Amino acid sequence: MTTTTALVEPVTVAGLSLTSPFVMAPMTRERSPHGVPTPEVAAYYRRRAENGVGLIITEGVLVDHPSAGHQRDVPRLTEGAAEAGWRLVTAEVHAAGGRIAAQLWHLGSQREPALWTPGTMSGGDFETLLRAYADAARVAVRAGFDAIEVHAAHGYLLDEFLWPVTNPGGHHRDFPAEVVRAVRAEIPACMPLIVRFSQFKERDFGARIAATPAELGVILDGFRVAGADVLHASQRRFWEPAFEGSDRNLAGWARHLTGLPSITVGSIGLTRDFAGSDRMRELLDRRARGEYDLMALGRVLLGNPAWVRLAEAGRFDEIRDYRKADEEHYA
């Protein structure tokens, strides 16, 4: 595989026109002092958009409640300075021809110290958090975002309701779908709503919210009915089957079970030689067969803002190992 000329081509997913099928996956950076994105944050996202990434998904943005997270420099979606900072970010991404989604995030028990988990929430706590997500969605619309992503993966709060280990009685298991419904009610009908989900957790790579496709279908259909337009299926390696008896990955099952467009992610470009490899061909072939619609890049974009353009041109020797990227390239 010496060149990949079809990498950057316009696509439309859930009514959103994108310059390419590549997505920037959310990656926490803690570069927003007191929760406010800076001009440097705007430039960081613009560099990826102007280099062939069709859809940017922001780093996790904490909803406005003390329980959501403990990091001072993780961005927020609140009225005032944070909203103004995000308006600059979206303007820069749009000027580069890109599109950008805000990822709404609550750490749950991974907050230090944890305040709310499925085992401690009761009564009005649920309504309070629904309002926090809805408020964040309204701010995101005003700030110029093109889409919203609800983070319900990796063992954070919403995912804790789906995982039997953290919610052994299955209490309020439909709360993540209620959050999706609350967000959907606050955004324009034409604005895509993405839900990110996973089997694995940050603290347990072997975890599973569903042992069978049927079990997964119940969860994902709940998201669909609540108003999700796209499913972002996070797994550690995109080429691994999600269930025995089929080579479909997690994004493939999401699309198959719900009919919704899906985003695949998992070690895409993680090694320096990925762009010219058979694994890259497999990634593109699976998409061509209709297994998923979009492909998300994570850590490789930290040190290689132009990874998509470099791969498209076959300039594989210019791709850096993300682990060796210096501060200039991380910026």
**By three-state DSSP, how is residue 133 classified?**
helix
Instruction: Give the model's pLDDT for residue 320.
Output: 87
8 Å CB contact between 320 and 272: yes
Instruction: Give the model's pLDDT for residue 68.
Output: 96
Instruction: Give the model's pLDDT for residue 119.
Output: 87
In this predicted model, what pLDDT tens digit does every residue of 19-56 receive, in sequence order? 999 999 999 999 999 999 999 999 999 999 999 999 99
Kindly give, in sequence order, each residue whose CB lies less than 8 Å from that of residue 161, ignoring residues fewer than 6 positions away. 118, 167, 172, 173, 175, 176
- Please report, for the chain, the start and end positions of each structural domain, with discontinuous segments joined by +: 11-323
What architecture is domain 11-323? Alpha-Beta Barrel (3.20)
Cα–Cα distance for residue pair 156/107, rounded to 1 Å: 5
Instruction: Give the model's pLDDT for residue 40.
Output: 97
Q: By C-alpha distance, which of 12, 11, 15, 10 is closest to 192?
A: 15
**By three-state DSSP, how is residue 195 classified?**
strand
9 phi and psi angles, rounded to 5 deg: -145, 140
Residue 281 tokens read as 């061909």
- 156 catalytic residue (yes or no): yes
Q: By C-alpha distance, which of 50, 5, 53 is closest to 294?
A: 53
Instruction: Give the model's pLDDT for residue 325.
Output: 54
Helices (H), 186-277: 213-226, 250-258
- In terms of DSSP bridges, do strands 16-18 and 11-13 run parallel, antiparallel, or are they unpaired? antiparallel
Catalytic option among 44, 45, 133, 156: 156
CA neighbours within 13 Å on the CB side: how many for 85? Answer: 24
Show the low-confidence residues of the chain (pLDDT under 70). 1-6, 324-331
